[in-house]
Amino acid sequence: MKKLSLFEVSYKSLLRKKTRSVLTILGIAMAAWVLVSLFGFNRGYEASLNKDIDNLGFQMLVVAKGCPYEAATLMLKGGTGLKYMNETIAAAVAAEPEVEGVTPMLMQVVFDPNKGESGGLAAYLGVDPVSFPKMKSVLPFKAGGWFTEPEAAEAVFGYEAAELEQREVGDLYLIPEKEVEVKVVGVLERTGTQDDGTIFLPIKTVQRIFGIRELTSIGVKVKKEADMKAFEDKLYRLPDVQVVSLSQVKTTIMTLVSTARVMVFSIALIAILIALMGVVNTVLMSVMERRQEIGILKSMGAMASDVFRLVWLETIILCVSGGLIGTGLALLTARLTDILVRGLLPFSPSGGLVSIDAGLVLAALGAVTAIGLASGIYPSWKAARMRPLDTIRSEVES
Amino acid sequence: MTMRSRNRRPAVFVLAALGLGLAAAVLHAAVGCDLNDPDRDVKRLFPGSTGYKTLYVSISRKGGGDLLQKIEARLGDRFAGLFETADVPYTMYEVYQGPDLIGYIHGVNQKGTYGALQVFLALDLQGVIKGFYFQKLTSKAAKAFRDPAFGGQFIGLSLEDFYKYDVVSGTEEPSGRISRIRNPEPAAERDFRAALRATKKNLVLVDEFLLGNPHLKFFKG
């Protein structure tokens, strides 16, 4: 009952200066809004970036030393220069504790005399029908799907490869030079990567058609907790392999993001400090205006601790109200923030850029309350140590 | 093996790929059919030429759905499949000798049995075929189709002749100059018909986009 009355007194004190109280709450709400949105952005951006990098399939590519690992380089080399490694290397890499999964690949190139005036090259990527689709689980299909059998005479076309060859699901395709027919079972959506121009076949089919039992590359998906750098060094101990690591990409992007994040957090910190000063100022002013009232309270028997709690409670009410409004605003405007940030950033990953969950909301409310508690100490202490006679006399003199 | 050659290029490559990924989300233009080496190919098809101008047109830009329907009617078949659409950009070449326009070159993609056929025609100012060749051809009978003797059978034909040819049934009523074009490889009948359909489509598009439809009067739709 006593606590409730204390709350009522605090609440009514704040109501006496409505405009000042509302402005103070708004200041805290803005700070909380910025805080929650920034932390939400920090989480969302990193999660989306991680997802995008995961969607690339594998973070490392182990290739035979000197072997061109992407089609463009292979074409530049005139389709020559393919180097092979033993299939056992895939098993050796898969056995490493840092590895979540591996997918073996075999690239082959043929000369197509009927491409252009003087012929051209056609490249095929043999992939494992089990492990490759798992790693490239987000490769969207425009039509069809992956292979039906591990050794099926089937092909999946990247969007541009399908467009160039005018192939659709159910069509046949002839591998030039080998004169082998394969059936098109899938056409991928356009992805903007080299997958668009790739013709995928089951790896065993490529090995059979071209009479090669070896591999040209192995895609490696590394466990999230693994030390990529140390693992990369470990892979270099394998004989005659070269490691192409996408971790460099992630590190580069995250460094850029971290720099921006430090700047943005500095701004947030300044906003919070300004809000904190606003709270201290408001409550202190309120205390100074109520000197006589506090003096009378004390002369009627109120203890210093009662006055301290009374003023402290006012601060907490201001901060908690501001915190609730601010986090509510952050939740309501998360989508808008996403759109605005996306428009400002030179590169933004797919997926939500702002991720606000219950944990973040509670943490922000806790932080704002803690700030309120801290900022209320000085005005409360000041009020608690007022001497009743001095305060009443000062009012009479004034 | 003590030296470690760590390639830094992948980082740049994948960053570029991520960037291109964004661009690709916006750009969805269908693939057209360009000459592989226009300078060389124009000279080869028009030996007396001194220059050329490249024009880019598409059905969707020139007239949309209505124009597509008219072109389909003139072709005698619907545009079909994932890649034969109204937004395919057609690359057309106007060929010049000095200041004088002397002819046109145009190629189209056509679905074949095992892959795409790219059929290019060199035409005079009246739309009569002066040259025919496959720039790209995926077929078991590719060698026979790419033989100059096969392409030579198209020389002198125009859209007036092809209007009598039904691309769906592969017949000509009444039998005329198209029926006299010999299939060099009977086992590759589908690719043969695809070549004829591609030629008719090519002529219709040139008539529509370059010649101002002088052959429309022969169309009995």
Amino acid present at A44: G
pLDDT value at position B12? 38
Q: Look at A158 and A226; give whichever has higher pLDDT.
A: A158
Does residue A22 sit in the same domain as residue A92? no
Angle among Cα B23, B33, A112 to the nearest 5 degrees reads 100
B118 touches chain A (CB under 8 A): no
Contacts of A240 in chain B (CB under 8 A): 1
Question: Do A112 and A72 fall into the same domain?
Answer: yes
> Is the ipTM reported for this complex over the cut 0.85?
no
**CB-facing half-sphere around the CA of A175: CA atoms within 13 A:** 23
CB contact under 8 A, A192 and B136: no
Chain segment A205-254, per-residue pLDDT in tens: 999 999 999 999 899 988 877 788 888 888 888 887 888 877 666 666 66
> What is the least distance, in Å, from the CA of B93 to any CA of chain A?
18
**Pair (A135, A77) in one structural domain:** yes
Domain count, chain A: 2
Q: What is the pLDDT of residues B92-136, one digit of tens each?
A: 999 999 999 999 999 999 999 998 899 999 999 999 999 999 998
Same domain membership, residue A210 and residue A280: no
List pLDDT tens digits, range A114-124.
777 777 888 89
C-alpha distance from A382 to closest chain B C-alpha (Å): 58
Is the pLDDT reported for residue A52 higher than 80?
Answer: no
Q: Up-side HSE of residue A352: CA atoms within 13 Å toward CB?
A: 12
Residue A166: which of B4, B116, B134 has the nearest Cβ? B116
Domain ranges, residue A205: 57-245
Asked which of A245, A277, A300 is the last residue of a domain, the reply is A245
CA B88, B117, B126: angle at the middle one, nearest 5?
70
Interface test with A, best of B9, B13, B36, B118 (most A CBs within 10 A): B13
How far A49 CA lies from chain B's nearest CA (Å)?
11
Question: DSSP states of B3-62 as a string?
Answer: ------HHHHHHHHHHHHHHHHHH--PPP----SSHHHHHHHHSTT--EEEEEEE-HHHH
Closest CA–CA distance from residue B204 to any residue of chain A (Å): 20
> Domain check: are A74 and A222 in the same one?
yes
Domain final position from A210, A245, A280? A245
Q: Are residues A188 and A315 in the same domain?
A: no
User: Closest partner residue to A248 among B1, B10, B21, by Cβ?
Assistant: B10
Domain boundary among A213, A245, A277: A245
Give how far B206 is from chain A: nearest CA, Å. 22
Residues A48 and A63 in one domain: no
Contact of B22 with chain A, judged by CB distance below 8 Å, is answered with yes
B138 close contact with A: CB closer than 8 A: yes
Selected residue of A61, A67, A114 to mutate for chain B interface (largest B Cβ count, 10 A):
A114
CB-nearest to B10 from A163, A181, A244 is: A244
Same domain, A318 and A273: yes
pLDDT at A151 over 90: yes
B116 touches chain A (CB under 8 A): yes
Instruction: Specify whether A307 is located in the same domain as A163.
Output: no
Asked whether the beta carbons of residue B142 and residue A113 sit closer than 8 angstroms, the reply is: yes
Give residue A155's pLDDT: 97
Q: Per the confidence metrics, is the pTM higher than 0.95?
A: no
What CA–CA distance (Å, rounded) separates B148 from B144?
9
Chain A: residue nearest B135 by CA? A116
Which residues of chain A are within 8 Å of residue B82 when distances are taken between CB atoms?
142-143, 162-163, 168, 187
Q: How far apart are CA B88 and CA B130, in angstroms?
A: 25
**CB B177, CB B161: distance < 8 Å:** yes
Q: Which residue on chain B is closest to A178 by alpha carbon?
A: B140
Same domain, A259 and A384: yes
B182: nearest Cα among B192, B194, B190, B168: B192
Separation in Å, CA A61 to CA A95, A106, A182, B115: 16, 12, 27, 31
Q: Is B29 on the interface with A (CB under 8 A)?
A: no
Asked if A108 contacts A101 with a C-beta cutoff of 8 angstroms, the reply is no
Q: Which residues pair with A184 in a beta bridge?
A: A155
CB B167 within 8 A of CB B196: yes
A393 and A269 in a common domain = yes
- Which residue from A192, A242, A186, A201 is spatially nearest to A109, judged by alpha carbons? A201
Q: What DSSP string runs through A197-252?
A: G-EEEEHHHHHHHHT--SBSEEEEEEPTTS-HHHHHHHHTTSTTEEEEETHHHHHH
Same structural domain, A13 and A95: no
